[in-house]
Amino acid sequence: MTRARYTKATLPAKPCVACGRPMTWRKRWAKTWDEVKFCSAACRKRVRRA
């Protein structure tokens, strides 16, 4: 199990590629964090259209 890597003190973060806002790691992204690029569905749509 690699779950223990993400503790409150070491939450990873990265900017949304659409709006540039920093995204902090969320539990729902636990499995897909490396693939997460957008902070929200709205941002995803924005980039897709561009």
* Residue 19 within binding range of Zn ion, rule CB under 5 A: yes
- Residue from the set 2, 11, 25, 39 that interacts with Zn ion by CB under 5 A: 39
Q: Which is nearer to Zn ion, 19 or 36 (CB)?
A: 19
Q: 49: part of which helix (H) or strand (E)? A: helix 41-49
Minimum Å gap between C-beta 19 and Zn ion is: 3
**CA–CA dist 49, 32 (Å, integer):** 23
Residues constituting the chain: 50
Give the binding site for Zn ion (CB under 5 A). Answer: 16, 18-19, 39, 43
